[in-house]
């Protein structure tokens, strides 16, 4: 399926950019006119993915995070990728409450929250090369609208 | 993000406002820990009802403080109104550790009967 609109953003893995990234994603997606509830779902999921890239991908060193947002008729796809350390075992990383950084008070709920607020979460990763998280969501509120 | 503190007897009420994410987690942690050092505090209420955004970073902040409050024999409760924030809390299983209440009165009652 061809996207009807697309945008790309690159930013430094600074924690202050977590809010920046989720606000930009929400602003772009709001063109589709989903409900505030659906927009908030997107914001939360983007925040989780970007936070993961900062803490786990780059381990608080500075690197570039790329975010690509694609709009379809009634859905959105958001890709967040880093060139950081990558994930050895994706299945394990996605388990609720699994965290590699308990000392930093990370709850291990990031992927669970993404999965709960979006329809689909896809993760590809290569140790030493980086991680890409693809979040997609269909906006049910747009069904029936032309 | 901002945290304001008020006291009711030996209960510290930490009222969060704004957005709680990883960027503000350390700030929140340090501010609450500073208040916990005051000898009068036994219980803590985390009032999240004025937060406009929270992601899973907030869970770490609350559970970390819970552990310290419990060590000193106190209890904790959460006030949450936003459906989305409540859902994140529920997903994490935090309900096994402390109640989620709709307002301060319910939170105080829950602490009194804990």
Residue A104's pLDDT is 85
Cα atoms in the 13 Å half-sphere on the side-chain side of A12: 6
Three-state secondary structure of B62-99: HHHHHHHHHHCCCCEEEECCCHHHHHHHHHCCHHHCCC
| Residue of A69 and B113 predicted with greater confidence | A69
Cα B46 off chain centre by = 2
The token pair that represents A15 in the structure block? 């924690």
Q: What is the pLDDT of residues B82-112, one digit of tens each?
A: 999 999 999 999 999 999 999 999 999 999 9
- The number of beta carbons lying within 10 Å of the beta carbon of residue B84 is 18
pLDDT at B39: 74
pTM: 0.95
The interface pTM score, or ipTM, of the predicted complex is: 0.93
**Which of the residues A17, A18, A38, A52 is marked catalytic?**
A52
Which residues have CB under 8 Å from A46's CB, separation 6+? A21, A22, A25, A26, A67, A78, A80, A135
- Rounded-to-integer distance, Cα B8 and Cα B45, Å: 10
Cα separation of B46 and B78, whole Å?
A: 5
Decide if A44 and B59 are in contact by the 8 Å CB cutoff.
no
- Indicate which residue of A48, A70, A77, A85 is catalytic: A48
DSSP output for A35-91 = -HHHHHHHHHHHHHHHHHIIIIISTTS--EEEEEEEE-SSEEEEEEEE-SS--S-HH
Write down the pLDDT at residue A146.
65
Q: What percent of chain A has pLDDT over 90?
A: 90
A123-136 confidence digits (pLDDT tens): 999 999 999 999 99
B111: nearest Cα among B8, B5, B6: B8
Helices (H) and strands (E) in chain A, counts: 4, 5
List the single residue in B with minimal CA-CA distance to A113. B88
What number is the average pLDDT over the span A42-71?
A: 97
Chain B contacts of A106, Cβ < 8 Å? Answer: 57, 60
- Burial zone of A2 (CB within 10 Å; 0-12 exposed, 13-18 middle, 19+ buried): exposed
Across A77-93, average pLDDT: 97
Does residue A48 have a pLDDT over 70?
A: yes
* Contact flag B84-A41 (C-beta cutoff 8 Å): yes
Taking a C-beta distance cutoff of 8 angstroms, is the pair B110, B76 a contact? no
Nearest to A67 by CA among A111, A29, A112, A99: A29
Provide the shortest C-alpha distance from residue A9 to chain B (in Å): 20
In this prediction, the residues of chain B whose per-residue pLDDT falls under 50 are: none
Q: Would the pLDDT of A145 be above 80?
A: no
Q: Distance (Å, rounded) from C-alpha A49 to C-alpha B59?
A: 16
Best to test chain A binding among B19, B29, B57 (most A CBs inside 10 Å): B57
Apex CA A3: angle with CA A140 and CA A16, to 5°? 80
Element (H, E) at B108: helix B104-112
Which pLDDT score is estimated for B77?
98
């Amino acid at each position: 399926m061809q996207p009807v609109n697309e945008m790309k953003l690159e930013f430094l893995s600074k924690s202050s950019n977590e809010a920046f990234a989720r606000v930009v994603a929400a602003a772009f997606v709001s063109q589709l006119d989903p409900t505030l509830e659906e927009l908030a779902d997107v914001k939360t999921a983007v925040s989780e993915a970007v936070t993961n890239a900062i803490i786990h991908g780059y381990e608080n060193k500075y690197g570039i995070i790329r975010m690509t947002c694609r709009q379809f008729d009634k859905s959105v796809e958001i890709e967040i990728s880093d060139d950081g350390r990558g994930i050895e075992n994706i299945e394990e990383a996605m388990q609720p409450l699994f965290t590699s950084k308990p000392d930093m008070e990370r709850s291990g709920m990031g992927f669970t929250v993404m999965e709960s607020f979006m329809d689909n979460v896809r993760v590809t990763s290569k140790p030493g090369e980086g991680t890409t998280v693809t979040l997609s969501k269909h906006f049910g509120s747009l069904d029936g609208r032309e | 993000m901002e945290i304001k503190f008020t006291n009711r007897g030996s209960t510290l009420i930490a009222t969060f406002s704004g957005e709680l994410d990883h960027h503000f987690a350390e700030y929140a942690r340090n501010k609450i820990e500073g208040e916990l050092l005051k000898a009068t505090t036994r219980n803590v209420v985390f009032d999240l009802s004025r937060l406009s955004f929270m992601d899973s970073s907030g869970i770490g902040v609350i559970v970390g403080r819970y552990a310290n409050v419990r060590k000193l024999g106190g209890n904790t409760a959460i006030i949450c109104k936003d459906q989305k924030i409540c859902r994140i809390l529920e997903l994490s299983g935090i309900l096994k550790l402390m109640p989620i209440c709709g307002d301060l009165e319910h939170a105080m009652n829950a602490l009194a009967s804990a």
